[in-house]
Structure 1
Amino acid sequence: MTSLPPLIALEEHFFSQAMLAGSTDTYSEQLKHIPGLADKLADVGELRLQSMDAGQVSFQIVSHAPGALSPTQCRSANDQLAQAVQDQPDRFAGFAVLPVSHPAQCADELTRCVRELKFVGALIDNHAADGSYFDGDAYLPLFQTAEQLDVPVYLHPTWPTDAATAALYTGNFSPAASRSIGSSALGWHADVATHVLRLFAAGLFDRLPRLKIIVGHMGEMLPFMLDRIAALSPRWGPRVHSFRHVWDTNIYITTSGNWSVDPMACILRNTKIDHVLYSVDYPFAKNEDGLVFMQNLQQSGLVTPEQLDMIAYKNAETLLNVKASKRWTSSV
């Protein structure tokens, strides 16, 4: 049997001390149903490394879990993460958390994190605390800075606003079902997909043709709808670059927390292989489950060995200028 390639994972979360000092009530369902979640989120050290080894993850890009943070809290969280990266430079790199509810301060914090803390990009909540998306002029400096620094921005799902919950996710079912439907079961994935379309419709990728956006969870449903979006988006106004061009050029997707090979079959038919990257969504998902997924993908016949290498680690090395330093020799 053939050994798996090394794995780089890039949607892997922690709770900063700044967040732990406040409320984590929005995570009540996850904390209730995922054993040991609180301890795993608070750790950027030995517990995380043990889990990485169990899932044969060579290198992890660590990022803050979703939740609105002030500029001061973001700075503190980024400094805390930078120390963890400094302690384990052969296993960790960092994505900056940015105060997206304070757009005027995002570009400066991203610049600080990349230039001073040596982070490799940013992972940010998909909308501000008031529900604002990032297609307006207030957020243009953030995206301009990301393009100038040549680092990606990872749009990560976050909790729906109270208004969205009332309109879309409240019904004749339990509050637990409402919270799950509106978040990780479906709602926040659709919200990220819609956000990407908003950025395109606003002309962001024409203004910033080298901007790199990452979305997780097998592309947040966009690959399944890609042909229809490509067919209908010309109605949205004249563009220098079509949505298909933007998909091929500006958008990267990860596997995070989605362990069926079925959606990968769709992705491999309509998405460039060098824009598909492995991720786990630790600790909300298990590194061991990600390992089984990669074994299944290897055995599926959907990818060549070289394509498997690209998804597993080579694309991340190229996009983020990191290196998969630890390798395993066990066969699968």
Structure 2
Amino acid sequence: MRGKITLEDHWDHPDNGEQAHKWAGLFAVDPEKNVREIMDLDHIRTSYMDEYGVGYTILSYTSPGVQSITDPGEALKFAQKVNDYVYEKIKDKSDRYGSFAALPMHDPKTAAEELTRCVREYGFKGALVNDYQVGEDGETLIFYDQPEWDVFWETCSELGVPFYMHPREPYGIIYDKLWKQRKWLVGPPLSFAQGVSLHVLGMVTNGVFDRFPKLQVIMGHLGEHVPVDIWRINHWLEDVKKPCGLHKTMKKTIREYFRDNIWVTTSGNFSTPTMNLVINEIGADRIMFSTDYPFESFKDACTWFDAAELPEQTREAIGRGNAKKLFKLDQYKDCDA
């Protein structure tokens, strides 16, 4: 399929080489190749797009990114630095590239202001945040599913841009108590999905989507295990209505939140049986193509999707149609790159 759109394609700032090598050493098959490709916003990335039929890419700043910076002031400065940098790199290539904003998530007002700046001044397509933010004390983990974050979600809704909840590694006491003796399960095998699923389902059960019904949130990796387990989740939230002894307070069912508020991408999960299961559970109109490059192979992502046994109408929707609608890509002309 030519003219695909992809939206979880990572990059890193050239000043962040030490962190890039550390992250690549943990989560890349070929660390040196990963670092070389994640730092490139020109030749390598564009050549892959041309070769494998991707017409448009929304860039995302790599994990853990700003969410690992404990000082709020430094986090804001760094977010502004990377947002300014990527804008300068892609501003003359708007027919091929867009970007998500990287955000400091210590407090909702600051996050909302930086998102607004990036959307209104730079035309960014939304925000991508790497799960929880580490607080100023270096121990607190900040989640965004409580009422004090309503000012941020209100801003997302008013701007009409989606929020991509991306994973990061377990940190601090969570790592020490749960993962240290099970370190091979950190990352794609389990911890990434567990962390994002907890956060997004926290938003569901704590009423974020009820207060902001127009809010759109994206999960990668075919939904971080949630669609696969949606019957059981729905059973306990709807049929039993007493998860852990508490009565449900949600206004809609979990399936309705996926219908109205939550999207998933194919990033880093190139399994046709799993994709078909997710299609059956939440519908093809809530799924978008993505690669998870360079932590996964750009070639593998594209050749798998192009060859997957799907009705062509479904391939068109997942490959680009849904993203065009969500991100309002009216200028995108189904590039035949």
TM-score strictly above 0.5: yes
Report what 1:316 is aligned to: 323
Report what 1:195 is aligned to: 199
Aligned equivalents of 1:291 and 1:24: distance in 2?
26
Any idea what the Cα deviations from partners look like across 1:137-191, whole Å, max 9, x if unmatched? 33222211111111100000011112111122122x6xxxx1x412222111111
Matched, 1:245 2:256: yes
Aligned equivalent of 2:211, options 178, 182, 207: 207
Report what 2:161 is aligned to: 151
What is the root-mean-square deviation in Å for CA atoms of aligned residues? Answer: 1.8
Query: Percent identity between the aligned chains?
Result: 27
Aligned equivalents of 2:42 and 2:113: distance in 1?
28
Secondary structure, counterpart of 2:122 in structure 1? coil
Q: CA deviation at 1:75?
A: 0.5
Secondary structure, counterpart of 2:271 in structure 1? coil
Matched, 1:305 2:312: yes
Matched, 1:37 2:34: yes
Matched, 1:10 2:19: no
Unaligned runs of 5+ in 1: none
Show the 5 A alignment for 1:28-67.
28-30=25-27, 33-67=30-64
Secondary structure, counterpart of 1:101 in structure 2? coil
CA distance 1:314–1:216, change in 2 (3 Å): same
The TM-score, its normalising length taken from structure 2, stands at 0.88
Q: CA deviation at 1:97?
A: 0.5
- Is the CA contact 2:163–2:216 (under 8 Å) kept in the aligned structure 1? yes
CA distance 1:19–1:100, change in 2 (3 Å): farther
Secondary structure, counterpart of 2:227 in structure 1? helix
Show the 5 A alignment for 1:76-95.
76-95=81-100
Matched, 1:327 2:336: yes
Unaligned runs of 5+ in 2: 67-74, 135-139, 242-246
Secondary structure, counterpart of 2:142 in structure 1? coil
Aligned equivalents of 1:102 and 1:5: distance in 2?
41
Single out whichever of 286-295 and 214-223 deviates more from structure 2.
Answer: 286-295
Matched, 1:170 2:180: yes
Single out whichever of 267-276 and 20-29 deviates more from structure 2.
Answer: 20-29
Aligned equivalent of 1:124, options 108, 122, 129: 129
Report what 1:264 is aligned to: 275
Look up the equivalent residue of 1:48 and give its one-letter code: R
Which runs of at least 4 in structure 1 moved beyond 6 Å after TM superposition? none
- Is the CA contact 2:2–2:54 (under 8 Å) kept in the aligned structure 1? no
Any idea what the Cα deviations from partners look like across 1:221-275, whole Å, max 9, x if unmatched? 1111111111212424232222221111100000001111121121111112211
The TM-score, its normalising length taken from structure 1, stands at 0.89
Q: CA deviation at 1:21?
A: 7.2
Q: CA deviation at 1:283?
A: 0.9
Aligned equivalents of 2:56 and 2:315: distance in 1?
16
Secondary structure, counterpart of 1:36 in structure 2? helix
Any idea what the Cα deviations from partners look like across 1:88-125, whole Å, max 9, x if unmatched? 11110010010013433100000001111100101101
Single out whichever of 17-26 and 250-259 deviates more from structure 2.
Answer: 17-26
Look up the equivalent residue of 1:288 and give its one-letter code: K
- Is the CA contact 1:147–1:208 (under 8 Å) kept in the aligned structure 2? yes
Secondary structure, counterpart of 1:63 in structure 2? strand
Aligned length: 315
